[in-house]
């Protein structure tokens, strides 16, 4: 059981900055995110795109913003639980018990939901028997590329992830790239590279084909792919990878008894607490009159929610307002030595 003051659900920009605000007022927190990395939409949807409306930062990419937020919270040594979706919530006297999809449990005084537009889940193959191989020879994301060395891999999809991985894995593996259309949605340079590799015989490209079925006992041995005109091909495969983009789902958070309005959680604007005491919601997931779905709004909401958590985490103490420029306590917590 992980015991901490506050559990933050979501490692997007809002959740990361809220962790900073908790840290400087002396509260501990841990962060859970369904993705394999921190950064939320900034890192998953637009890592290379420039953002122009972060106060005092004229221009930075989604990735740079994430890296800076991570740098800012480094002094607090915050524990991240990635690839975990928060599922269950139970009240236990005046604390909360939370459980993730992998069974990790938390005992916390308060919860900050910074879940954005929901947890990002991969869009999956519609073929039923794929489920059986998921996690052993069929994947929707790659955690350890070394397992593919010298193997035959069938990659499905036509976007950047499918193209990038097809190019990268073709260095050490036999790659089949299968896409249901002739055109690709990934960047032109990657499309050209894939076509070159195909012409050089370093990769097999099958367009206008889709998955028909997967064959194998414990692990995948072959995939059958079907052309739009009906032709079926059987190709040997040790692994199958599907990159069809992400869907966003609020999931079990919807069942926690929170006031939900159009897939957002209603909060007050004093400290962004929900209708349930001790549960706060900030960033894109919260709604209130005048809400702007911008990163800067999420930062403000996180600062106030962090202070709202204080009374649950330290009910016998009073929180004093202080500036970081002059607060010795905040500077100590940030590891600043003068
Ligand atoms: C293309 C694009 C461009 C944008 N440009 C700008 C811009 O220029 N300026 C600006 O201010 N904003 C911009 N935005 C909006 C901005 O990215 C969002 O407002 C911001 O990301 C919201 O941050 P967040 O932390 O609330 O949520 P998110 O960034 O969505 O992060 C939420 C995180 O919570 C996780 N999560 C959700 N549910 C669970 C669960 N149950 N368990 C575990 N984890 C969970 C998700 O996996 C995700 O990582 C842009 C958005 C897009 C898509």
Q: Does residue 308's CB lie within 6 angstroms of at least one atom of ligand 1?
A: no
Q: Which helix (H) or strand (E) holds 235?
A: strand 232-236
Q: Does residue 113's CB lie within 6 angstroms of at least one atom of ligand 1?
A: no
The Å distance, Cα 290 to ligand 1 centre, comes to: 18
Q: Are residues 217 and 311 in the same domain?
A: no
CATH label of the domain that carries residue 48: 3.50.50.60
Q: Does residue 104's CB lie within 6 angstroms of at least one atom of ligand 1?
A: no
Q: How many angstroms separate the CA atoms of 158 and 178, rounded?
A: 8
Mean pLDDT of the chain: 94
Residue 66 within a domain: yes
The Å distance, Cα 115 to ligand 1 centre, comes to: 8
Decide if pLDDT at 31 tops 80: yes
251 vs 50, 121, 125, 267, CA distance in Å? 30, 10, 20, 19
Q: Are residues 166 and 311 in the same domain?
A: no
**pLDDT single digits (tens) 216-255:** 999 999 999 999 999 999 999 999 999 998 887 777 888 8
> What is the arithmetic mean of pLDDT over 289-296?
97
Ligand 1 mutation pick, 7, 39, 41, max ligand atoms within 8 A of CB: 41
Residue 210 within a domain: yes
Are 88 and 9 spatial neighbours (Cβ–Cβ below 8 Å)? no
Q: Are residues 117 and 182 in the same domain?
A: no
Q: Are residues 172 and 314 in the same domain?
A: no
| Domain of 104, in residue numbers | 2-121+247-333
Residue 338 within a domain: no
* Closest by CA position to 117, among listed 273, 293, 275: 293
Are 225 and 178 spatial neighbours (Cβ–Cβ below 8 Å)? yes
Atom of ligand 1 nearest to the CA of 298: 26
3-state secondary structure of 264: strand
Q: Does residue 30's CB lie within 6 angstroms of at least one atom of ligand 1?
A: no
* Closest by CA position to 32, among listed 87, 96, 90, 95: 87
Q: Return the residue whose CA atom lies nearest to atom 38 of ligand 1.
A: 119
Predicted model pTM: 0.79
Q: Are residues 270 and 239 in the same domain?
A: no
Give the number of domains in the chain: 2
């Amino acid at each position: 059981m992980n015991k901490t003051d506050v559990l933050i659900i979501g490692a997007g920009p809002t959740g990361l900055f809220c962790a900073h605000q908790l840290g400087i007022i002396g509260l501990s927190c841990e962060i859970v995110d369904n993705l394999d990395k921190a950064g939320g939409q900034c890192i998953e949807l637009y890592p290379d795109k420039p953002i122009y409306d972060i106060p005092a930062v004229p221009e930075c990419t989604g990735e740079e913003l994430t890296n800076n937020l991570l740098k800012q919270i480094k002094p607090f040594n915050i524990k991240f639980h990635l690839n975990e979706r928060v599922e269950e919530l139970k009240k236990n006297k005046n604390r909360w018990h939370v459980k993730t999809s992998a069974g990790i449990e938390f005992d916390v005084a308060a919860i900050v939901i910074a879940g954005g537009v929901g947890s990002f889940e991969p869009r999956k193959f519609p073929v039923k028997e794929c489920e059986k191989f998921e996690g052993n020879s069929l994947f929707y994301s790659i955690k350890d590329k070394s397992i593919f060395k010298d193997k035959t891999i069938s990659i499905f999809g036509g976007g950047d992830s499918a193209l990038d991985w097809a190019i990268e894995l073709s260095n050490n593996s036999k790659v089949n790239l299968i896409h249901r259309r002739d055109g690709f949605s990934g960047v032109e340079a990657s499309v050209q590279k894939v076509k070159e590799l195909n012409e050089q015989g370093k990769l097999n490209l099958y367009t206008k084909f889709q998955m028909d079925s997967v064959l194998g006992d414990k692990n995948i041995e072959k995939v059958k792919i079907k052309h739009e005109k009906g032709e079926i091909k059987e190709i040997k495969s040790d692994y199958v990878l599907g990159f069809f983009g992400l869907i966003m789902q609020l999931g079990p958070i919807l069942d926690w008894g929170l006031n939900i309005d159009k897939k957002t959680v209603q909060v007050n604007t004093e400290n962004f607490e929900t209708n349930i005491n001790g549960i706060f919601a900030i960033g894109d997931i919260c709604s209130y009159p005048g809400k702007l779905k911008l990163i800067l709004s999420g930062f403000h909401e996180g600062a106030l929610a962090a202070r709202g958590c204080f009374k649950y985490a330290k009910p016998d103490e009073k929180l004093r307002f202080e500036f970081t420029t002059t607060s010795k306590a905040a500077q100590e917590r940030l590891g600043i030595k003068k």
